[in-house]
Amino acid sequence: MQNTAHSKHSRNTLVLAFAALGVVFGDIGTSPLYALRECFSEAHNLPLSPENVIGVLSLIFWTIMILICAKYMAVVMKADNKGEGGILALMALASSGEAKSSTTRRFVIITLGLFGAALLYGDGVITPAISVLSAVEGLYLLTPAFEHYVIPLTIFILNAFFLMQKFGTGRIGVVFGPILLLWFFVLGALGLHGILQNPAVLEAINPYHAIEFFQINGFHGFVVMGSVVLVVTGGEALYADMGHFGRRPIRLAWFFVAMPGLVLNYFGQGALLLSNPEAISNPFYLLAPKWGLAPLVILATMATVIASQALVSGIFSITRQAVQLGFCPRLATIHTSSREIGQIYLPFVNWALFVGVIWLVVTFKSSSNLAAAYGIAVTGTMVITTILAFEVSVHRWHWGLGKALAIFGGFLIVDLAFFGSNIMKVAHGGWVPLVMAAVIYLLMITWHKGRKILYARLKERSVSIEEFCQMILRQPPLRVSGTAIYMAGDPSGIPVPLLHNLKHNKVLHERVAILTIQTKDEPFVPKKDRVLIQEIIPNLYRIIVYYGFMETPKMKHILEACRQRDIHFNVSETTFVLGRETILPSTAPGMSLWREKLFAIMSKNAQRPTAFFKIPPNQVIEVGIQVEI
């Protein structure tokens, strides 16, 4: 019996590892299309000598070993927030527990986490553009006549890709795994064939050649690191998608499929360059025999679309987490799968990404031009991940400071070296992700602070529960049949719409419930801990509902949870009362006037709670409230 259970568990792990190939490894798996080529681009003017080729290959090999195998696979993936990974989950984990003892530390952690998430948005815009462009550029090698069709064809593919998003990844996801498995097999086979032609390339495994590369090239070698880091783009996705597949399946897929394919291909490209330096124009495609070029372009295009899908799905997930954690306005969210909670579609985010991606393709025109913009987003996020993981190791895992500094200090030195080499590319396109990140970070902190100021202003107009109860017991208002549920952001006071109703209409429903929905610093909340109900006085209830940042609240589920606690609300006889705040920017203390105006615009365009919480619209009353902030 035990053997059967073990066998079933092993099969499930293999199935998950296979599925992870199609979602997690697309970004890092398509890096061979451009990474080695960019190390010897005209911008670097690096001679194609055997010493430099071996040196760059050694850098590539040890970058993969240190940053992916050691940092992410061995250490960072242990920092899971109840199974969930990703920078916002890591931020929530680092800012909870003992770390709460310091307000300054918590502020720094949240600031870093938000900016890291903002950088991922830049990554999400650049990845589809550079990946699909680099794949389609293989058409050059078939015939120069295709040169004028590369950009139109790239735009056509990206247009179809973003149109597909509304159908969800579930329908097309079943083919992702097999395609990526074939992709890594082809990478490995092409690389192995190249290595056999020139086995001397295997000397690059010796880290001495990486050190020698810096000795020969000095500061020039440091600049080249800005392109070397392209081999680990997508490393953050391995951690971010941990919640979907689990730690063990991702590690299996990496060590047994993805990593061998990638390493063999990079070494194969290096072997080709040792024999034929002119192949630097496109070493990936020139590694293939002529008869295999057209099928390889088709396969590469499919692989890059899959890589783009992984990033776009990740951006949808990050946005939902930001909404739940209070750093983003409510956005229309469509669940594209009844079985998978993580499969969601956000129309506004989808089309905003589309506009950004098409702008990049039209502006930069080639994958080489875009490569300069790519590295900053990736390395910036990696630096922040290392710092947050260090915080978790000390305050959650209770590592000694010496041990934590030795491990994460080493990773941070490597991360900062790569980030420093990329900073020098700001003028050549590196400004793109930085500007995107700065704008998104500004929007997130403006929304978060604006909501805090708004709640404070509403709280000033509110009264305590004790005061309200004394008021209605002292002068009982006219009661009308039915139930009214008042939505409230503050779990302690009385919502302003309830006070307005009592003041102006002089009536109260027979049963009144004050409902507050709060998001915890954890991905999921067990159903048994979800609802807290308190009957303050007969027929006046305070209901507090807790959700995780990976969950989307639904009114139907909340009412079901209340029924399980013997509090029955008949939906057809229930009125939902919500406040509709009109924000009036002012010179009052809080935020600068321009940020208050920005917050007012964001608040006006946020999705209404009626749609977000799936409340029947014909049973909703909205009470207009003008609030000066």
Work out the percent of the chain whose per-residue pLDDT is above 70: 95
Residue 342, pLDDT score = 55
Residue 99, pLDDT score = 43
Global pTM? Answer: 0.83
Q: Is the pLDDT of residue 103 over 70?
A: yes
Report the Cα–Cα distance between both ends of the chain, in Å, rounded. 65
Residue at token pair 């017991």: 473
Residue 94, pLDDT score = 87
Residue 168, pLDDT score = 67
Cβ–Cβ under 8 Å, residues 507 and 477: yes
**174 pLDDT tier (thresholds 50, 70, 90):** low
Q: Is the pLDDT of residue 1 over 50?
A: no
**101 pLDDT tier (thresholds 50, 70, 90):** low
Q: Which of 482, 470, 479 is nearest to 505 (CA)?
A: 479
State mean pLDDT over 559-565: 83
Q: If DSSP codes are grouped into helix, strand and coil, which group holds residue 81?
A: strand
Sorted by sequence, the CB contacts under 8 Å of residue 157 that are 6+ apart come out as 132, 136, 301, 305
Residue 258, pLDDT score = 93
For 380-419, letters b (16+ CB in 10 Å) and e give bbbbbbbbbbbbbbbbbeebeeeebeebbeebbebbeebb
Per residue in 510-561, pLDDT tens?
Answer: 889 999 998 887 788 888 888 888 888 888 899 999 988 878 788 888 888 8
Distances (CA, A) of 358 to 304, 447, 491: 15, 28, 44
Residue 173, pLDDT score = 54
Quote the strand ranges of 13-160, DSSP E. Answer: none
Cα-flanking dihedrals φ and ψ of residue 488, to 5°? -140, 135
Residue 2, pLDDT score = 45
More reliable by pLDDT, 218 or 410: 410
Q: Which of 224-228, 262-266, 297-301, 424-428 has the highest mean pLDDT?
A: 262-266
Q: How far apart are CA 181 and CA 174, in angstroms?
A: 12
Per residue in 218-250, pLDDT tens?
Answer: 888 898 998 899 999 888 888 887 877 788 888
Burial (Cβ within 10 Å: 0-12, 13-18, ≥19) of residue 32: buried
Long-range contacts of 566-569 (CB under 8 A, 24+ apart): 567/533, 567/541, 567/543, 569/483, 569/485, 569/513
Residue 629 DSSP label: -
- CA 512 to centroid of chain Cα atoms: 40
State mean pLDDT over 320-329: 87
**60 pLDDT tier (thresholds 50, 70, 90):** very high
Number of CB atoms found within 10 A of residue 20's CB: 27
Q: Is the pLDDT of residue 297 over 50?
A: yes
Residue 97, pLDDT score = 55
Range name among 115-129, 440-454, 547-561 with the lowest pLDDT average = 547-561
Q: If DSSP codes are grouped into helix, strand and coil, which group holds residue 525?
A: coil
**74 pLDDT tier (thresholds 50, 70, 90):** very high
Sorted by sequence, the CB contacts under 8 Å of residue 537 that are 6+ apart come out as 469, 473
Q: How far apart are CA 68 and CA 428, in angstroms?
A: 27
Cβ–Cβ under 8 Å, residues 183 and 386: no
Cα-flanking dihedrals φ and ψ of residue 551, to 5°? -110, 150
Per residue in 478-503, pLDDT tens?
Answer: 888 888 999 888 777 889 888 888 88
CA angle (146, 151, 157) in 5-degree steps:
100
Burial (Cβ within 10 Å: 0-12, 13-18, ≥19) of residue 568: exposed
Q: Is the pLDDT of residue 32 over 80?
A: yes
More reliable by pLDDT, 264 or 562: 264
Residue 529, pLDDT score = 84
Q: How far apart are CA 123 and CA 129, in angstroms?
A: 10
More reliable by pLDDT, 4 or 465: 465
Q: Which of 370, 338, 300, 336 is nearest to 38 (CA)?
A: 370
Q: How far apart are CA 213 and CA 307, in angstroms?
A: 31
Cβ–Cβ under 8 Å, residues 194 and 267: yes
SS3 percent helix, strand, coil of the chain, rounded to 5, is: 70, 10, 20
HEC letters along 371-435: HHHHHHHHHHHHHHHHHHHHHHHHHCCCCCHHHHHHHHHHHHHHHHHHHHHHHCCHHHCCHHHHH
Distances (CA, A) of 447 to 285, 327, 590, 599: 47, 6, 13, 6
Helices (H), 278-337: 283-286, 293-324
Q: How far apart are CA 451 and CA 590, in angstroms?
A: 11
Q: Is the pLDDT of residue 172 over 70?
A: no
Tokens (6 digits) for 398: 């209770």
Burial (Cβ within 10 Å: 0-12, 13-18, ≥19) of residue 481: exposed
Q: How far apart are CA 602 and CA 583, in angstroms?
A: 10
Cβ–Cβ under 8 Å, residues 487 and 616: no
Beta bridge partners of 485: 513, 576
Q: Which of 51, 19, 57 is nearest to 263 (CA)?
A: 57
Q: How far apart are CA 226 and CA 371, in angstroms?
A: 9
Q: If DSSP codes are grouped into helix, strand and coil, which group holds residue 166?
A: helix
Q: Dmax over Cα atoms in the chain, in whole Å?
A: 94
**7 pLDDT tier (thresholds 50, 70, 90):** low
Tokens (6 digits) for 255: 């060590």
State mean pLDDT over 95-118: 79
Tokens (6 digits) for 471: 């008021």
**416 pLDDT tier (thresholds 50, 70, 90):** very high
* Mean pLDDT over the full length of the chain: 86
Q: How far apart are CA 419 and CA 424, in angstroms?
A: 9
More reliable by pLDDT, 370 or 259: 259
Cβ–Cβ under 8 Å, residues 115 and 437: yes
